[in-house]
Amino acid sequence: MQITCSGSRYYEPIETSACLDCALNKENDCGYSYRLLKAIFSTQEGDQRKDEVHVTDITGCLLKSYLDKKRAAPPYVHDLLYLFIGIAVHSALDFTDEHVQSEVTIHESGLIGRADAVYKDTLEDVKTTRWLTPGKLPYGEHATQVNIYNHFLQKDYLQIQYIDLSGPTKCKGCRIPLRMIDGVIQCSSCGYTPKSAHLGAVIYDVPSVNMQSFIDTRVAQLTLAMSNGTEPEAEPSFLCGYCAHVTCEHNHKRSMY
Ordered by where they begin, the domains of the chain are: 1-46 (no CATH), 47-256 (3.90.320)
72 band by pLDDT with thresholds 50, 70 and 90:
confident
Question: Is residue 254 pLDDT above 50, yes or no?
Answer: no
The per-residue pLDDT for range 139-161, each reduced to its tens digit, is 999 999 999 999 999 999 999 99
- Rounded to whole angstroms, the Cα distance separating 120 from 169 reads 32
Global pTM value: 0.91
Q: What percent of the chain has pLDDT over 70?
A: 96
237 band by pLDDT with thresholds 50, 70 and 90:
confident
Residue 164: per-residue pLDDT: 97
Question: Is residue 253 pLDDT above 70, yes or no?
Answer: no
Comparing C-alpha atoms, which of 233, 249, 251 is closest to residue 241? 251
DSSP helix/strand/coil, 113: strand
57 near 116, Cβ under 8 Å? no
Question: Is residue 257 pLDDT above 60, yes or no?
Answer: no
- Rounded to whole angstroms, the Cα distance separating 16 from 67 reads 21
Question: Is residue 208 pLDDT above 80, yes or no?
Answer: yes
Residue 21: per-residue pLDDT: 97
80 near 44, Cβ under 8 Å? yes
DSSP helix/strand/coil, 31: coil
Q: Out of 29-43, 94-108, 195-209, 240-254, which region has the weakest mean confidence (pLDDT)? A: 240-254
- Rounded to whole angstroms, the Cα distance separating 77 from 67 reads 19
Residue 252: per-residue pLDDT: 67
Residue 239: per-residue pLDDT: 80
Residue 34: per-residue pLDDT: 98
Are β-strands 122-129 and 157-164 bridged in parallel, bridged antiparallel, or unpaired?
parallel
- Residue 189 CA: distances (Å) to CA of 56, 178, 180, 195: 43, 9, 12, 17
Q: Which residue has the higher pLDDT, 255 or 67?
A: 67
Residue 203: per-residue pLDDT: 98
- Rounded to whole angstroms, the Cα distance separating 121 from 18 reads 49
Neighbour count for residue 3 (Cβ, 10 Å):
22
48 band by pLDDT with thresholds 50, 70 and 90:
low
Residue 44: per-residue pLDDT: 85
Q: What is the mean pLDDT of the chain?
A: 93
